[in-house]
Amino acid sequence: MSKTKVAIIGSGNIGTDLMIKVMNHSQHLEMGAMVGIDPASDGLARAAALGVPTTAEGVEGLVKLPNFDEIEIVFDATSAKAHVVNNDRLQPFGKRMIDLTPAAIGPFVVPAVNGDDHIGAPNVNMVTCGGQATIPMVAAVSRVVPVAYAEIVASIASKSAGPGTRANIDEFTETTSSAIVSVGGAERGKAIIILNPAEPPLIMRDTVYCLVNASDPATHDEIRQSIEKMAGDVSAYVPGYRLKQQVQITEIAADQPVETLLAGGDRPTHQVSVFLEVEGAGHYLPTYAGNLDIMTSAGMQIAERIAQQKETAR
């Protein structure tokens, strides 16, 4: 059975890593094109050496490729602003867009949480690296007890943050905060990203704080079990994803000023703290770049599901 052809716009770190994943590890996808704007980029050179059609003329070059009509799914690994232009150009051709930028044109998708909910959408947004790592934990808690407030802190190696990531810092916080609510299920959400300049570069670390009403000790066990199950679901497609230490559930002190974080309602009784580590697979990027690896892995997971559904429907 023929595989679904995909194109990748963006020949930088994320796009190149995604290409290698598709070529070496995909069951239902095959490369149709690698698209960039820098003729000297390593990504375009590697693609050409591997026999993948390439263009350095951006989305217009993609449209001009002889095999453009064969391409069904397009990954966008550029920037939030560029994605708006790319999406507008490709939608009239009926291409399915998987957005790895924080543009948030389409619905937010986190494979372990709502991976099957938007399979038919023309454009799906993969939130952010911090969102892919932490929103599953917020969702795991909210499946047991309502989350009044969730805060995530994503710490990544400065070396793993390229020009696109740095240009999208504001969009990162806004998009992730929004998805913590719409996908994670929290009533309010906040996202913080830290670019750690330490040498040697440190692996991606994420911390998730959830404020909940959980006075019953039995609820604590349910929360821990839900989190552990979710961690297993994510690690199925991101093998380097793991809980760094035991989940902590602590009582909120009476004098702790949490009211300013809440949208209203009862004052939460406990704080759930989850500590994560994301190690990259090392397919193209260094293993410390788990922040980039989780994005490419999540994006490919959704594309696999879209392609598999198409094959089933035949």
Q: Token pair 């790895």 is at which residue?
A: 100
Is 307 annotated in some ligand binding site? Answer: no
Known binding residue 264? Answer is no
Is 13 annotated to bind a ligand? Reply is yes
- What is the spatial distance between Cα 147 and Cα 142, in angstroms, rounded to a whole number? 6
Report whether 125 belongs to an annotated binding site: no
Q: Is 215 annotated as belonging to a binding site? A: no
Q: Is residue 130 part of an annotated ligand binding site? A: no
Establish whether 162 is an annotated binding residue: yes
23, amino acid identity? M
Rounded to whole angstroms, the Cα distance separating 183 from 125 reads 12
Q: Is 163 annotated as a binding residue?
A: yes
> 242 among the known binding-site residues?
no
d(CA 125, CA 135): 14
d(CA 38, CA 11): 8
Q: Which amino acid, residue 12?
A: G
Instruction: Please indicate if the annotation marks 198 as binding a ligand.
Output: no
Q: Look up 129 and say whether it is catalytic.
A: yes
Catalytically annotated residue among 129, 211, 243, 292: 129
Strands 204-212 and 248-251: unpaired
3-class SS string, 89-139: HHHHHCCEEEECCCCCCCCECCHHHHCCCCCCCCEEECCCHHHHHHHHHHH
Q: Is 168 annotated as a binding residue?
A: yes
| Residues with a known catalytic role | 129
Residue numbers belonging to the annotated binding site = 11-14, 160-168, 291
Residue numbers belonging to the annotated binding site for NAD(+) = 11-14, 160-168, 291
